[in-house]
């Protein structure tokens, strides 16, 4: 797999790990130049339609979830029968490895991790998506300490039409009782799983274990977990209360929402009293507002203090981890009750003295976050304080018109008469979505973040936009939206390739119009002379046919027409002209000439008697003209032979004919065409 490139884009560089149905690789996105993680379905599952559907569902579900605590999904697809998902590459280690290497984690860090996972789940639950497989292996701890939840591989939307919606797909050590029983699930199931994760992180030990998955699942259904403090005594009672409430067997006894669980964890981190309203009597070893009360018991004849546990419903209940006869037991009960009553009376007395000493001095500031301004003012004044500065600011967590912050914070110690400043929420800040047209992916990401929104790369598409620039965005540019809104953008792969028309033989204007209508840019080049294509006609084009991207250039080459040197022209009629006139006329017309001579009794000497060609001819053709030498001499029959002399003259001998004419043959020299044979 190393070196393979998926969809001509994602080059695999190294293997990261393997899960139940897929392997995960580190890869390089060769388009955007960034490191990504590629999750590849194992080949034995690729042919299974159900697994394939789940794999696709993971991508579709996770791609819509945007949170700083959720691993982003960038892309997914199929290449050569292999299904893959492209995700954000997260540096760090998973929580399971961290616990295995270090044991129990610092309690505050456990609460921080829990709060961030709650935030991630809140985003998912807000879209009716349950994770269904929350476990420490799916929680990545980054170098900066923040976490990212990954692998929504078995998540499903509530409106899914899949038949087996209740299948037990989670990991047995972390599944909820209802998930183990194959019941319909909601967000409470994820909270239970998170409770198991926090239990393990805080104690270094699983809440339930066994020889196999079935036995572990049965324990999830039937057994209550051992309180964390009995595994690790220094566990904070408040953190223990949160974990135990999340792990209630009955979903109705857990937190109402993951946001409520997050608020409880945040309260623990801020040192505020917990508000676990709605917890059952046996839900946690602590009271609703603070540390657990203790009960007095005896063990081996010695008085001991015991924390309130599911077996101890209140301060008046006696511990049951001892044995004695009935009389002794009755005496012990009376004694215990007396001790407890005495302790309570003492506590009340001490509280009364404290109140008397404090009088109107230092007390705790009331919590007015979430209240209207009027209600907040009344609560602050009723507690003996003065309302200080009232300001406004945007808030994504508190609706407009209600208190989103206060200073000092709730439950802070403050002298009576002190000032409490409050900040009123203006609601979520709105802004205008930036125009991403023509931007590269990197430029788009920066523009979106700078405007206060969350960027999400949504994939590539064929588009009229230039390749590697933004082709489309959602929401549209200029639209008003809440700050923090996710802005999706698509990157263009360029226009779709189209057939190039063949315009060879067209005149230049028609060829240019045809190509431009097809969507191409036209470049015109001047060609050579041609006997086949008239002047102005396209004699060739590049490319000639095939496909080309819309908007790309097609070059047409236009003919200069017939070569002038080969073009037919009129031959002057030089018969009757003198030799010199004929030669000039032919030369001016572009012809060569050749002169021959003959005697004529009817044509004056030096006049052209005839020419070898008339009509039209090509420039440079040779025209032969015959010029008269005048009448012939009288003499008898005679045949003469003339020889060319070295000076160009010809000598010949002739015989007189009976009629007085003489015939003679002689060859004239080329330098003197008027020289004739002498007979």
Backbone angles phi and psi of 615, in degrees to 5: 85, -120
Separation between Cα atoms, residue 451 and residue 432, nearest integer Å: 8
Separation between Cα atoms, residue 147 and residue 136, nearest integer Å: 11
Q: What is the DSSP string of 486-534?
A: EEEEEEE--SPEEEPP--TTSBHHHHHHHHHHTT-EEEEEE----SSS-
Give exposure, 183-195, as e/b (b: 16+ Cβ within 10 Å). eebebbbbbbbbb
Separation between Cα atoms, residue 302 and residue 310, nearest integer Å: 23
- By the 10 Å C-beta count (0-12 exposed, 13-18 middle, 19+ buried), 428 is classed as middle
272 with 411: CB under 8 angstroms? yes
- Using left for φ > 0, alpha for ψ between -120 and 50, and beta otherwise, residue 349 falls in alpha
Catalytic residue among 94, 133, 190, 260: 133
Token pair listed for 141: 């701890």
Rg of the chain in Å (alpha carbons): 52
How far out from the chain centre does Cα 387 lie? 49
Separation between Cα atoms, residue 349 and residue 538, nearest integer Å: 111
259 with 214: CB under 8 angstroms? no
Separation between Cα atoms, residue 481 and residue 428, nearest integer Å: 9
- Cis (ω within 30 of 0) for the bond into 424? no
* Positive/negative CA dihedral, 204, 209, 213, 219: negative
Token pair listed for 124: 């998912």
Given the structure tokens 């324990």, which residue do they identify?
219
- By the 10 Å C-beta count (0-12 exposed, 13-18 middle, 19+ buried), 250 is classed as exposed
Q: Report the candidate in 426, 348, 342 with the shortest Cα–Cα distance to residue 390.
A: 426
Pairing of strands 592-598, 547-549: unpaired
Question: Annotated binding site: which residue ranges?
Answer: 39
Q: Report the candidate in 554, 552, 553 with the shortest Cα–Cα distance to residue 464.
A: 552
Question: Annotated binding site for ATP: which residue ranges?
Answer: 39
201 with 113: CB under 8 angstroms? yes
Separation between Cα atoms, residue 228 and residue 244, nearest integer Å: 8
Q: Which residues make beta-bridge pairs with 29? A: 10, 34
**Whether residue 133 lies in the annotated active site:** yes
Q: Which residues make beta-bridge pairs with 595? A: 625
**Active-site annotation, residues:** 133
């Amino acid at each position: 797999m190393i070196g393979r490139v998926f969809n001509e884009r994602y080059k695999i560089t190294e293997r990261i790990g393997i899960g139940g149905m897929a392997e995960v690789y580190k890869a390089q996105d060769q388009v955007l130049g960034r490191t990504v993680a590629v999750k590849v379905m194992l080949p034995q599952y690729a042919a299974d339609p159900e697994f394939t559907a789940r794999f696709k569902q993971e991508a579709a579900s996770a791609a819509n979830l945007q949170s700083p605590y959720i691993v982003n999904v960038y892309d997914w697809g199929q290449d050569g029968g292999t299904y893959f998902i492209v995700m954000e590459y997260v540096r760090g280690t998973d929580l399971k490895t961290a616990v295995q290497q270090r044991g129990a984690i610092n309690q505050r860090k456990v609460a921080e991790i829990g709060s961030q996972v709650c935030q991630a789940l809140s985003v998912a639950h807000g879209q009716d998506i349950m994770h269904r497989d929350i476990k420490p292996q799916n929680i990545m701890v980054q170098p900066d300490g923040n976490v990212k939840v990954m692998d929504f591989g078995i998540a499903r939307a509530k409106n899914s039409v899949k038949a087996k919606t209740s299948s037990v797909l989670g990991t047995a050590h972390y599944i909820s009782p209802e998930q183990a029983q194959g019941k319909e699930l909601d967000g409470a199931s994820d909270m239970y799983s998170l409770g198991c994760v926090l239990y393990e992180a805080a104690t270094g030990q699983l809440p339930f274990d066994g020889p196999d998955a079935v036995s572990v699942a049965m324990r999830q259904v039937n057994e209550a977990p051992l309180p964390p403090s009995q595994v690790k005594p220094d566990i904070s009672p408040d953190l223990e209360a949160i974990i135990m409430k999340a792990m209630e067997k009955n979903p109705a006894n857990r937190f109402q929402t993951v946001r409520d669980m997050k608020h409880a964890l945040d309260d623990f981190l801020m040192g505020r009293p917990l508000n676990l309203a709605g917890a059952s009597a046996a839900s946690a070893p602590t009271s609703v507002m603070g540390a657990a009360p203790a009960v007095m018991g005896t063990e081996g004849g010695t008085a001991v203090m015991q924390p309130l546990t599911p077996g101890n419903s209140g301060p008046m209940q006696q511990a049951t981890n001892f044995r004695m006869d009935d009389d002794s037991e009755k005496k012990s009960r009376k004694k215990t009750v007396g001790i407890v009553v005495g302790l309570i009376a003492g506590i009340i007395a001490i509280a009364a003295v404290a109140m008397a000493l404090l009088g109107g001095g230092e007390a705790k500031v009331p919590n007015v976050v979430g209240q209207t301004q009027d209600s907040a003012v009344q609560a602050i004044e009723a507690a003996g304080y003065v309302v200080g500065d009232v300001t406004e600011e945007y808030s994504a967590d508190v609706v407009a018109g209600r208190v989103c912050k206060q200073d000092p914070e709730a439950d802070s110690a403050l002298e009576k008469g002190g000032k409490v400043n409050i900040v009123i929420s203006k609601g979520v800040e709105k802004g205008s979505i930036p125009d991403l047209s023509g931007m590269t992916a990197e430029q788009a990401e920066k523009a979106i973040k700078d405007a206060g929104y969350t960027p999400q790369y949504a994939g590539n598409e064929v588009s009229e936009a230039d390749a590697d620039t933004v082709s489309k965005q959602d929401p549209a540019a200029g639209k008003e939206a809440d700050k923090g809104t996710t802005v999706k953008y698509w990157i263009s792969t360029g226009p779709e390739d189209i057939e190039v028309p063949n315009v060879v033989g067209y005149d230049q204007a028609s060829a240019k119009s045809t190509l431009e209508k097809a969507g191409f840019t036209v470049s015109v080049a001047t060609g050579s002379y041609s006997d086949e294509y008239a002047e102005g006609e396209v004699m060739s084009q590049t490319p000639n046919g095939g496909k080309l991207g819309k908007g790309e250039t097609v070059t047409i080459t236009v003919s200069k027409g017939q070569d002038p040197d080969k073009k037919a022209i009129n031959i002057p009629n030089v018969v009757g002209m003198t030799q010199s006139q004929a030669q000039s006329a032919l030369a001016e017309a572009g012809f060569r000439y050749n002169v021959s001579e003959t005697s004529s009794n009817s044509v004056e000497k030096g006049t052209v008697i005839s020419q070898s060609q008339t009509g039209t001819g090509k420039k440079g053709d040779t025209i032969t003209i015959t010029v008269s030498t005048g009448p012939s001499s009288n003499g008898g029959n005679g045949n003469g032979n003339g020889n060319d002399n070295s000076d160009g003259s010809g000598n010949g001998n002739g015989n007189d004919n009976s009629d007085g004419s003489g015939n003679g043959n002689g060859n004239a020299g080329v330098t003197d065409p008027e020289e004739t044979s002498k007979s």
